[in-house]
Structures are given as C-alpha cells and as structure tokens.
Structure 1
Amino acid sequence: MLEIRWTEGGEARSARWRSENGSPPPARVAIADERLAAATAYRLACEGTALLWRGDFHAARRLLRAMTRRADHHAPAPRPSRSPSPPPPPASSLVQAFQQHRQARSQRAVTLGRLLVPLDPDHSVPLRRAPDVRSACAQVYGPATEASVTSLRELLGIVGAYEWRRRGVEVPALNDRIHPHYGVFSPVRGEYVDLVAAAPLVSRAGAFDIGAGTGVLAAVLARRGVERVVATDRDPRAVACARDNVRRLGLSGRVDVLEADLFPPGRAPLVVCNPPWLPAKPASPLDHAVYDPGSRMLRGFLDGLGEHLTPEGEGWLILSDLAERLGLRTRAELLSAFASAGLRVVDQLRTRPRHPRASDRTDPLHTARTTETTSLWRLRRT
C-alpha cells in the first residue's frame, strides 16, 4: 500500500495514496484553500508540488478549471490551414505530431492531477459542500477501510463514470443501453458496433468475442441470433462490466463472459475482435482500449485465429486505419500479418468515423482523423 506524507499544522501526517493510473505519491505537498491564486497553484503544480485542498469543494473545482485553462493556453496551438484541401503532410511529421500530442497530454494530466482532496475512512470527502461520493468510490476503490488522498481530477472522473454506469449509453444497434464501468471503454463510437450489426453471418451456431470490454459486440451477436457467444477479456473490470451488461440485457443464457487473455478453449464458426487501434504504450486504464503496445493483441488475435476457427469459420477484425494515417503502421504490414497467420481476406466492410474530433480543425491530428476509415475485415484460413 502506498502512502502520501505531508506536514500540516506543524505535525507530520500520512494517508493511503489512491491513483488508478498508477501515479506515485507526490514527494512535495502543500496545504491549499481559497486564498491560493490560480496562477500560483498552476505554477506550483508545474514545479512538482501537490496541493492538498482544505477549503470549499466547489472552490476546488473552480480552481481545477482555472488550472485547466492555463494548461490549455500554454499548450502549442496548431495552425489551421486556410486551404479547404491541404496536401497531406509527410508521414514523419505526423508521427512526430502524434508523439508530441501524447507527451503534451500526459504532462497536462500529471500537472492537473496535483490538486488533491482527502477521503475519510468511509470514502466521504471532508470538505464544505462536498457531494456524496461514497457509492461511486466504493465501485472503484472497493470497501472503505481507511483515510486516503486522491487527485480531484480522478475523483471527478470516478463520479462521472458512476453516472454513466447508472444511466447507460444508448446503442442503436441494440435498441437498448450499455452500462460502462469505470476504466472500461464506453461504446460512444458507434460505427464499429454498426459494422458488426451489418456484416453477413456465416453461421449462428456460436461465436467468440475477443477483448469484450463492455460486452457490446457479444450482445449484438446474440441479438442477431447467434445461439451461444463466449466473450473474453483479461481485465477483471471489463469482465465484471460485460457480465453486468449481459445480465441487464437478458442474455445470460446465451452469452458467457470469461477472464482470459485472448481466446477461450475450443473453436467457433465466428471469432470477432476489436483490438486497440494504435500501436503505442498506454498511460492509463482507459488507454488500454486505444493503445496496443507492439500490436500485441492484434498479432495475438491474428496468429491464433486459425486454430480457433471451425473449418469454414470466419474471423472479423474491426480496426481503424488511424495508425496508418499517422505513420505508425503501414497497410502492407497489416496485410503481411494476415498472410503470415495463414489468413485470407474475404471482404472488407468500411465506414467513416462520426465522432466530433473528425471535424475539429484545432486537433493536432486533424489531418489524419479527417481521412480515417474503420473496417471490418472478414478473414478465413487459406
């Protein structure tokens, strides 16, 4: 168990340190309240000093917003092109832009994460006008046992995820809602779900869903008439989330969710996988849904697919080409990975993204996002 230590009122104090993204406890901690100016707070955070808040909770939220504005103001602003159709930049500059964007976002998160709030042993926040966050914290941190400290930014994320989990996210392909848990990627980008809902089924006898996440694709397959779906994920939170959604949707008798790295035992006529789309190192729990270091999951799925398909079975790989647009992977490398795994392409279904970033000209990766395509590759053994 990690501890955070500080001095307050001339006394040495300590508490359990909570950080879901694995950040170490800060070495320097100062006590802060409404008397601290936003400019000073931001400077101290940039210099590595964490600020343990003792004032009004809503004042802490205002301070975090003010620090966020300063962080965004100091970030290098991209220069929007005046041409409606600018020529694409070279791949090397896109790779550099991607790396700089990730570094800037990472540093921004570290700096803003230095505004801290205390939690009592029952997960309540001992600050004036603090909301009741006990249920939200219990879902993420588990049973309350001792006093602790976490970043205000993380706490607000936990509360927001609690509301998402309670209300759910509408999925048109299901005509129902999926309830994402904290740390499990929400199916807000519906285009990949729509591809699975529209692709022709080779069989309804059974299917595997590899890397199930919320269980949305397993649910879509079951609703399409697949008799039995086995969904896997190696993240215990994702497994719990998928099981919860399967139960909510009334599919417990047709969808089994297992904790496993990639494939379950046996074979199926359909094996579906929507791996993380970018070959880069994740920096937080949610990043694992987007970043696949060394393309481990992608290659693991392709290399193991053949031995988990029935003789006439089909694998569906749902993958964005954003990595190709950014110069992180080439189309030739992807096709070579198919061939090396003994797979051939039967068909490629395509769709364009509908998320807001695709039209955000201030996004440093705007050029790549405007041409991004999401594909469902239908694969069979050669």
Structure 2
Amino acid sequence: MSAPAELAWEETTGDGTSHAGHARWRSESGQAPPRRVVVADDTMKADTAWRLACEGTALLWRGDYHNARLLLQAMARRADARPRKRAKAPASTAEAFHLHRMAQAQRARTLGMLLIPFEAGAQIPLRRAPAVVEVLAEAVAATPDADLAEAPFVMSLRELLGLIGAHEWRRKGVLVPALGDRIHPWYGVYSPIRGEYLDLVARTPLPSATLAFDIGTGTGVIAALLARRGVRKVVATDVSPRALGCAGENLERLGMLAGAPGAAATSAAGVRAGCIELMQADLFPPGRAPLVVCNPPWVPARPSSAIEHAVYDPESRMLRGFLAGLAAHLEAGGEGWLILSDLAEYLGLRTRAELLGWIEAAGLKVLGREDIRPHHPKASDAEDPLHAARAAEVTSLWRLGVAVR
C-alpha cells in the first residue's frame, strides 16, 4: 500500500463554473500517484487519452463506467501495437529480460492513468458502475489503514479490474490436482496456477511424516499438501500478514488449521484435523524438523510493485537466507526441500555454479533432485520475448542435507 497522497484537479460543472476537486489516492499495488490530473468523459477519443497518458497526465473519469472499460481496452491495443521500426537486438538474454520488464512497467504506468472516483463508503458515482465494496474490503483486509468508508478516494481503473479479477479467483478458487481440492488465493498472494512444482512435492518420498516446516507458505497450499500426504504436524511461516490470513482461511476450510473451530475432528481424506500451525516469521520457526520445505521467488530481480514480491527476489535474498539457515533447523538425517526453477539461469540472472556455491557455503550437500517441465501457456508461446528461456525452463525440487565435515 502506497503512502497516503492527495490528488487535486480543476473541474467544470454543468452550469459552466469551475471548481477545485480533490481526493485521496489509493493503490494496493503500490502505484505512485500521478502528478497531473484532468477530467475526462465519454466524449474523449482514445487517441487523445493515449497521448495524455503517455505524457504522464492522468484522466479522472466522469462518464459511463462501461465506456471507461472500453477506453482502457483501446489504450491497451495502442500499448501492444508493434513498433514500426525494429529496435536493436539485445546483446544478451539478461538485457532482453530487463528491457522486457521496463516495457511492462511502462505499459502498466501508462494504462494506470485512467482513474475511477469513489465516494465515501467505496461507492463509484458513475453510470452502470458495479458495487465493489466487498472487492475492496477483501483487498485491504490485512492493511492497517482499511478505512474505505471515511473519505472519497481515487483508484486506477486497471488496478480496480485486477481487484475484481482477484475477487473472482478467491470466490471460485484454483483447483490443485495434487491436493484434490481447491485453494482460494487472496489479492497479492501468489496463486498456485503453476501446478508442476506441487506435483514435485506430491511425488518426492518423505524423509519423515512426523513434522515439517513450510517456509513462506503463501496460500498454504504446500502445507496442505504435506498434511494430505500424512505429515502429522506442519508449522507454516510467512512474514506477510496478508499471506497468513489467506493461508488461515484455506487451511481452516480444509479442516487442517490448528486452533480452528472443529479442529478436534478428523478432516476429509483421513487427514489429521488441526495439524497445521501458522506462525508469522521471517523464514524459520524455532526448533528443528526432519523436513523443511521452501518455494522462494524464482527470479532474482527487484519487484516493481508490491504484488510482485512473490515472483521476484532481489539479489536472491530469500533463497540465500533459506540456504544459510537450513542446517540449523534440520534434525539429524533430515532433508530440506528447495523448490526452484532454473529460469533465472537461462535469463543470465544467476548461474548454476552460484547456486551450488551457496549450498556448499551453507554446509549443505545435494542428496538428490526431482525435475519437471513446466506446462504453462508461455512455455509454448513463440511470440513471448522470453520464449527461448521459458521453453528450456525446468522446475526442480532439490533434496538437501547437512554436509559431514
């Protein structure tokens, strides 16, 4: 959540008089507030809107809500149009990746310039506007300043549509075949739509079924999968209150959350009810376990927004932190399961030698590795700028143990 900011603009009323308008800026994704704002309505042409947005001028919409959506689609088509002149080819895959991310960020900033007003109580004062109070309440559920009813505010239409989409994901859930059930992700918590890494967790032999730590639990899906496989107790950690809220809701619904109502009963599929404990922690809980699992963000790059932290890990901080602390939290003969894609290696952002060096420096050794190919759509999309790297990508579960010195 970005720091509170006030937007101001000049507005002409129906009788032709002008007055100053102002409202708070709200962005759950961390988008910076625009510096210039003009009022726009159904008479604005897409070319004009696109030009103003590219110049850094935001458009506060006063027309029909559905027309605003159509305008955003028209702006997106202009953003995605191929340049007339072909740019110089990148010198390396890493440069191609960084150029791709810069283009994505610029696209997001420009399309984020179409703004929607909200009255106190999170009501949109536009024709044919949907009711989004529940949508916004879900998005700010873990935010300290969740004061939607206090004052008018302004939000990017693009972000609002993202919140509405997240609401639908949360309502319907994501079917996880390896779990045999649905997981309901919250806004800003990584959704388990790429199931190959869960297939690895489901098929790799357990070193023990007594206790496991799930580091950076997110939606709680790995903790739930370990419990479904018969692990009697799982301690799942995350530093994010939003992720812990999401995991708690999922695990309670599955009957696996310790301390939840009805936890004394046996949950579905014979899983011991109440077997998963949630804890807010930066990486590890206290103590040791025979199995410690971590699925850190796979790409060592800086997030450009708050919701990218599940994908990008600056300087591999979480990965290196997990490796550095693993030996101190493994029981004798235990295993650490590191779930990691090698996409960063194909992008030139991290080498295999660096990864193996971090493992060795942490006093660990590789006991084995399970590999799987991704089957998401981008892996076969030849138009994707990073297609070569995505097509070669392999996701691995590294089985790590303490090295004998």
TM over 0.5: yes
- Give the partner amino acid of 1:67: M
Partner of 2:288: 267
Residue 354 of structure 1 deviates from its aligned partner by 0.6
- What is the number of residues matched between the two proteins? 372
The aligned residue for residue 263 of structure 2 is none
Q: What does residue 325 of structure 1 align with?
A: 346
Q: Output aligned runs, 1:154-173, within 5 Å.
A: 154-173=159-178
Report the equivalent of 2:38.
30
CA distance in 1, matches of 2:201, 2:83: 38
Distance in 2, matches of 1:25 and 1:379, equals 45
Q: Is the 8 A contact 1:28 1:48 kept in 2?
A: yes
* 2:154 match: 149
Per-residue CA distance 1:221-263 (angstroms, 9 max, x = gap): 0110101111111111111001111001110111111111100
User: Which of the numbers 217, 226, 245 marks the counterpart of 1:221?
Assistant: 226
Q: How does 1:129-278 map to 2 (within 5 A)?
A: 129-141=128-140, 142-144=146-148, 145-252=150-257, 253-278=274-299
User: TM-score, structure 1 length as denominator?
Assistant: 0.95
Q: What's the TM-score, normalizing by structure 2?
A: 0.90
Counterpart CA distance in 1 for 2:104 and 2:36 is 22
Partner Cα separation in structure 2 for residue 5 and residue 263 of structure 1: 45
Once the two structures are TM-superposed, the CA of residue 23 in structure 1 deviates from its matched residue by 2.3
- Give the AA of the match of 1:46: C
- What CA deviation, in whole Å up to 9, does each residue of 1:244-297 have, x standing for no partner? 110011101111111111001111110000000010001122211110001000
Mark the CA change 1:248 to 1:317 in structure 2 (over 3 Å): closer, same or farther. same
- Equivalent residues in 2 for 1:5-84 (5 A)? 5-9=8-12, 10-74=18-82
Offset of 1:5 from its aligned partner?
1.2
CA distance in 2, matches of 1:126, 1:247: 37
Distance (whole Å) between structure 2 residues aligned to residue 226 and residue 125 of structure 1: 48
Cα distance change on mapping 1:115 and 1:191 into 2, 3 Å: same
Percent of aligned positions with the same letter in both sequences?
61
Q: Which amino acid counterpart does residue 182 of structure 2 have in structure 1?
A: R
Describe the superposition over 1:271-326 as per-residue Cα deviations: whole angstroms up to 9, x where unpaired.
00000001000112221111000100000000000000011110000000000011
| 2:260 alignment counterpart | none
Equivalent pair of 1:302/1:338 in contact (CA under 8 Å): yes
Structure with the larger RCO, 1 or 2 (CA within 8 Å, 6+ apart) = 1
Pair 1:3-2:2 in alignment: no
Determine helix, strand or coil for the equivalent of 2:339: strand
* 2:219–2:243 CA contact under 8 A, matched in 1: yes
Alpha-carbon distance, 1:74 to partner: 4.7
Is the CA contact 2:301–2:312 (under 8 Å) kept in the aligned structure 1?
yes
Residues in 2 aligned to 1:106 and 1:74: alpha-carbon distance in whole angstroms: 17
Q: Which amino acid aligns with 1:97?
A: A
In structure 2, relative to structure 1, the CA distance for the partners of 1:367 and 1:7 (3 Å cut) is: same
Aligned pair 1:379/2:400, yes or no?
yes
**Structure 1 residues 221, 71: closer, same or farther in 2, change over 3 A?**
same
Match of 1:14, SS state, is: strand
Is 1:120 the equivalent of 2:119?
Answer: yes
In structure 2, C-alpha distance between the alignment counterparts of 1:380 and 1:25, rounded to whole Å:
48
Contact 1:78 1:362 in 2 (8 A): no
In structure 2, how many angstroms separate the alpha carbons of the residues matched to 1:110 and 1:225?
46
Please say if residues 31 and 305 of structure 2, whose CA atoms lie closer than 8 Å, have aligned partners that are also in contact.
no
Query: How far apart, CA to CA, are the structure 2 residues paired with 1:65 and 1:323?
Result: 32
Q: Match for residue 307 of structure 2?
A: 286
Relative to 1, partners in 2 of residues 1:268 and 1:311: Cα closer, same or farther, differing over 3 Å?
same
Change in CA separation of 1:223 and 1:61 when aligned onto 2, cut-off 3 Å: same
Give me the whole-angstrom Cα distance separating, in 1, the residues matched to 2:237 and 2:8: 40
Corresponding letter in the other structure for 2:209: R
The 3 A distance-change label for structure 1 pair 254 and 125 is same
Q: 1:350 aligns with which of 359, 363, 371?
A: 371
Does the Cα contact within 8 Å between 1:123 and 1:138 map onto a contact in 2?
no
Q: Is this contact kept in 1: 2:256–2:275, CA < 8 A?
A: yes
Deviation at 1:76, TM superposition (A): 8.3
Structure 2: state its 5+ residue gaps. 13-17, 141-145, 258-273
Q: Evaluate the alpha carbon distance shift between residue 4 and residue 41 of structure 1 in structure 2; reply closer, same or farther with a 3 A threshold.
A: same
Measure the CA separation in 1 of the matches of 2:232 and 2:169. 30
One-letter amino acid matched to 1:49: T
Moved over 3 A (4+): 74-79
Separation in structure 2 between the aligned mates of residue 346 and residue 274 of structure 1, nearest angstrom: 18
Q: Specify whether residues 78 and 305 from structure 1 end up closer, same or farther in structure 2 by C-alpha distance, changes over 3 A only.
A: farther
Q: Within 2, Cα distance between the matches of 1:197 and 1:353?
A: 16
> What runs of 5+ residues in structure 1 fail to find an aligned partner?
80-88
Paired residues of 1:30 and 1:51 also in contact (CA < 8 A): yes
Q: Hey, what's the Cα distance between the residues in 1 that align with 2:317 and 2:83? A: 32
**Contact kept? 1:77, 1:362, Cα under 8 Å:** no
| Greater mean alpha carbon deviation, residues 254-263 or residues 314-323 | 254-263
